[in-house]
Each structure stands twice: as C-alpha cells, then as structure tokens.
Amino acid sequence: MNLDNKKALIIGIASNRSIATEIAKVLSANGAQLLLTYQGEKLKNRVEEIANEINQNIECFPCDLSSDKNIDDLAAFTKKKWGSLDIIIHSAAFAPRELLSGDFVDNINRDGFNIAHEISSYSFTALAKSFKGILNTSSSLITLSYLGSEKVIPNYNVMGLAKASLESNVRYMANSLGSNNIRVNAISAGPVKTLASAGISGFNEILKHVEAKSALKRNITLNEIANVALFLSSDLSSGITGQTIYVDSGYNINGF
Ligand code: 0WE
C-alpha cells in the first residue's frame, strides 16, 4: 500500500507501546510523512525519541486536546509546515481514573462525565473543524474506539458512553465532510496492553477472556490495528466512510 506524498498527523503517542506509535511506524514505512504531537512537556522527550527512531526528520509539536488554542496552533503549524494535510490519526482518550473502576452510577459525576466526553469524543470533531481548511480532497480521518461503546464491559463505565458518542461522531463527521471527499472512520480495537490499560482492574481477565472466547482464540497485535489504519488511510478504502471497523479477533460477534 502506498502513502507516498501523503502527510499524516498522529495524535496519541504516550509510549513505545501506544497504538499511535505502531500506526506511525506503519504509515512511515509505507511512504507517509509524519507530524507527531505530545500531550505536555512530560511526554515531549519520549515522543521525540520515538520520532527519531522512526525517521530522523520527523517533527513533534505540543497539543493538549482540552485546549482550542492548542488545536488551532497545531493547525497553523501544520499549514506553515506542509500547506495541507491528508491523514489525521486520533488515538487519544481520557476519563478520570477513579471513574474507571467500581459501580458506574455510584462513581459518576458531572465533571468526570464532561471530561471523558470532551477529550475522548469532542476533540475529534474539534480537530476536523480546525483542520478543515487545509485537508486535501480524499483525506482520511481515523479514530480508535472500543466495544465498551455498545456492550457493558465491567469498569469501562463512563468511557463506554464517551466511545458511543465518538462512534456517532464518526457518522455525523463522515456525513458533514463527505461532500469534500473527506472520509471518517473508527477502528474498534480489541484489548491491548498499553499505558492506557496499565493498572486497570480486571484488564488481564479481559485479555484472557478474549483469548478463550474470540473466534480467532487469541488477542490482536498492535501491528494488526496499524495495518487497518494503513488501509483506511490509503485510497484502497476510498469507498468506506462513517464506519466502525472491528480489529478484535472477531470477539464482538459473540452473544454468549
Ligand atoms: O479506552 C480505553 C482506555 C482509555 C483510558 C485509560 C485511562 C487510564 C489512565 C481513559 N482514561 C484513562 N484515565 C486514566 O487516568 N481502553 C479501550 C482500554 C481499556 O480501559 C479499560 C478497559 C479497557 C479495555 C477500563 C476498564 C475496563 C476495560
């Protein structure tokens, strides 16, 4: 698959094992030029090291998705650097940790609900809004979701609502941007060990359950997610928009 001359913005690298890191490697290996973002000064060095490992001249730029100013500054930087953009990978989510365990109703609060939806869903729309003016025709926007959006997963709690919002967001964004030939899709990934899942109570049980019960009888790899991101980024998927595509060993087909 060929992404030569395509320029990709990748948001959500927090470590070597991030989904966004593997997507960056795979898109770069297929010819794309990359711009990576880091969430704050704490992550700057780590993201720059990852950028250097992939390719010596990849630039990194700060972006906290809770800030409209940060998003607009990122769009202005992208415009100055490249003039236009072809691919946005949105691989970021956040809910306050104390909401990701225990009883959903007991632990929910207004702030936590708002933060989860703002960072995990609205930020994708905000990026589209801010970058719309520099997105090339036939651009592809991709976000990451999880089965907890449509089925109850213990402890996923408010993130389930936020991912439901994100997947609906994908449909409305696809409809809105379709006339500019901009495509918008989500990848619903099976559970993978990353910083985002580290320390989540019951996460290892979820991994074991998928291994035992999924159609493929194993967990997925980061590379399998990244390969679908490559497909959705490329013109091979030119007829696909507004979709949530499962990369989950088939786990989502199960009823029991
Ligand atoms: O979407 C996610 C997790 C996203 C996430 C992770 C954190 C950890 C650190 C959002 N907010 C935070 N906040 C923090 O303070 N996943 C799909 C991974 C995940 O998280 C779970 C899972 C799975 C799978 C939480 C409970 C149950 C299953």
**CA nearest ligand 1 atom 10, residue:** 94
Mean pLDDT along residues 200-206: 94
What is the 160 CA–ligand 1 centroid distance (Å)?
10
User: What is the tens place of the pLDDT at every residue in 124-183?
Assistant: 999 999 999 999 999 999 999 999 999 999 999 999 999 999 999 999 999 999 999 999
pLDDT, position 82: 98
What is the 218 CA–ligand 1 centroid distance (Å)?
20
**CA nearest ligand 1 atom 19, residue:** 197
What is the domain class of 7-248 according to CATH?
alpha beta
pLDDT, position 1: 76
What is the 100 CA–ligand 1 centroid distance (Å)?
7
* Residues at CB less than 6 angstroms from ligand 1: 93-95, 97, 100, 146, 153, 155-156, 159, 191, 196-197, 200, 203, 206
Q: What is the pTM of this model?
A: 0.98
Under 8 Å between Cβ of 174 and 241: yes
Domain ranges (residues) in the chain:
7-248
Tokens linked to 222: 């980061």
User: What is the tens place of the pLDDT at every residue in 77-112?
Assistant: 999 999 999 999 999 999 999 999 999 999 999 999
**CA nearest ligand 1 atom 11, residue:** 94
Mean pLDDT of all residues belonging to the chain: 98
